Structure 1
Amino acid sequence: MIEQLFPNVEWAALWTASLETVYMSLAAVIMTFILGIILGLLLYLTDKGNFWENKTLHALTAAVVNIFRSIPFIILLILLIPFTNAMLGTFLGPSAALPALVAGAAPFYARLVEIGFREVDKGVIEAAQSMGAGQGRIIMRVLLPESMPALVSGITVTGITLVSFTAMAGAIGAGGLGDLAYREGFQRTQPDVTFASTIAVLIIVFVFQMIGDQLTSKLDKR
């Protein structure tokens, strides 16, 4: 039955492409989580009325975030080819897609991080200050823990976006399911390969969403 529905699918190749997509997505999610929190903290802390209020630094950080967030991912991929080639010695393969994936996703996630920080009750921060807690302690012990459900929810959304980004990256040689669907499915007119690749992408997305929802539910104390 499966062979009749997917006569052209090489299951070993589909499995390899799925692993490449999972690798790109997970590695990019981890790096995006770290970089996004750093950028989000800068956006939040340098804004008016916060610990590191600095109009110039806030404007500069916001400009970088907005510029990278506004560039379509496929164009960003092409723009970063010289940088990727200089850094890794190649712009082909799953690892070579990571700089563009992180550059495309981290600014988007940074804005979600900033929103998460803004939702933290000011009274909790003021209470910590009145007890003599320093800025670093407030950030690590109050701001980050209180906003963690929002941060995890945000990285879940970003992770799903990254899975779609990996499919686009496949079009310029990054590998993964996008590459398989385009090269073996579209270019060779084998719609069953494209369909099987799409199903594999959907499974990865559903798993990401399920794990993210469970973590958010566990972290949410409300």
Structure 2
Amino acid sequence: MSDIMIDLLLSAIWETLLMTLASGLISLLAGLPLGLALVATDKGGLAENRWINSGLGAIVNAFRSVPFIILLVALIPVTRLIVGTALGTWAAIVPLSIAATPYYARIAEVSLREVDRGLIDAVRAMGGNRWTVIREVLIPEALPGIIAGFTVTLVTLIGASAMAGAIGAGGLGDLAIRYGYQRFETGVMVAVVVVLVILVCGIQWIGDRVVAALSSRQTSS
């Protein structure tokens, strides 16, 4: 690979990391409260409300049922409204975040449901309110699962960001399409695949280490 291609590859790596981490952070900040709301408003939850739970569940399922490439195109007007353009790295963060938030919300919901009901009942029996239960029981006990789910979400976002390159979002996907496919640069395509594998393995390794540390801390306490 030439020096120019190496520079393009490094720039594409940075754009992919920016898209992945920015949209991942947004999905965490929006998806975790959404997962908590789904658990809290469910039958027997802290704030049981069948109508709210059904409405939230329908919205989450609706977004999760749309393939990302279709959602990417459908959200172009929204992306233009928020960012001012439908092209580029920052524009891709909008649909990536919207797609990842309901996905992560369901993962967080599963982790939160696995918290021992006895701990929740004990805190409530001692006078703890809903926010106390959420802050002191639900999130701390479900934290390893929450982090594990966030790791899976980041890995999924790496693949989605590469797909976003098909419509000019930048990053490794865009590089692979413009140079590896359209210009028949096999070396570029191979390099992109290798980098994607390294990124996925690296994120998964870091996530696994964090989850293991949190799990061992919970066991020891």
Q: TM-score, normalised by structure 1?
A: 0.95
> Residue 99 of structure 1: CA displacement?
1.3
| Match status 1:184 vs 2:179 | yes
**What is the aligned counterpart of 1:105 among 76, 100, 107?**
100
| Match status 1:43 vs 2:38 | yes
Determine what percentage of the aligned residue pairs are the same residue. Answer: 44
- Structure 1 runs of 4+ with >3 Å offset: 6-9
Query: Unaligned 5+ residue runs, structure 1?
Result: 1-5
Report the equivalent of 2:65. 70
| Match status 1:80 vs 2:67 | no
Which residue identity lines up with residue 50 of structure 2 in the other structure?
K
Which residue identity lines up with residue 123 of structure 1 in the other structure?
G
Q: C-alpha distance in 2, partners of 1:75/1:34?
A: 24
> Residue 14 of structure 1: CA displacement?
0.2
Alignment of 1:86-97 (within 5 A): 86-97=81-92
CA RMSD of aligned residues (A): 1.2
Query: Unaligned 5+ residue runs, structure 2?
Result: none
Report the equivalent of 2:158. 163
Which residue identity lines up with residue 57 of structure 2 in the other structure?
A
Aligned residues: 217
Contact 1:170/1:179 (CA < 8 Å) preserved in 2?
yes
**What is the aligned counterpart of 1:34 among 20, 29, 34?**
29
> Residue 89 of structure 1: CA displacement?
0.7
Report the equivalent of 1:22. 17
Could you say what secondary structure the match of 2:42 adopts?
coil
**What is the aligned counterpart of 1:194 among 172, 181, 189?**
189
Q: C-alpha distance in 1, partners of 2:128/2:49?
A: 22
Which residue identity lines up with residue 169 of structure 1 in the other structure?
A
Deviations 1:95-136 (A, max 9, x none): 111111011111111111111111000011111111111111
Q: TM-score, normalised by structure 2?
A: 0.95
Contact 1:8/1:190 (CA < 8 Å) preserved in 2?
no
Contact 1:173/1:179 (CA < 8 Å) preserved in 2?
yes
Could you say what secondary structure the match of 1:108 adopts?
helix
Report the equivalent of 1:55. 50
Report the equivalent of 2:137. 142
Contact 1:46/1:54 (CA < 8 Å) preserved in 2?
yes
Q: C-alpha distance in 2, partners of 1:35/1:138?
A: 20
Which residue identity lines up with residue 170 of structure 1 in the other structure?
G
Deviations 1:154-192 (A, max 9, x none): 011111000000000111011000000001110111111
> Residue 87 of structure 1: CA displacement?
1.2
Q: C-alpha distance in 1, partners of 2:58/2:4?
A: 45
Deviations 1:34-68 (A, max 9, x none): 11101101111110011111111101100010010
Report the equivalent of 2:118. 123
Q: C-alpha distance in 2, partners of 1:8/1:76?
A: 36
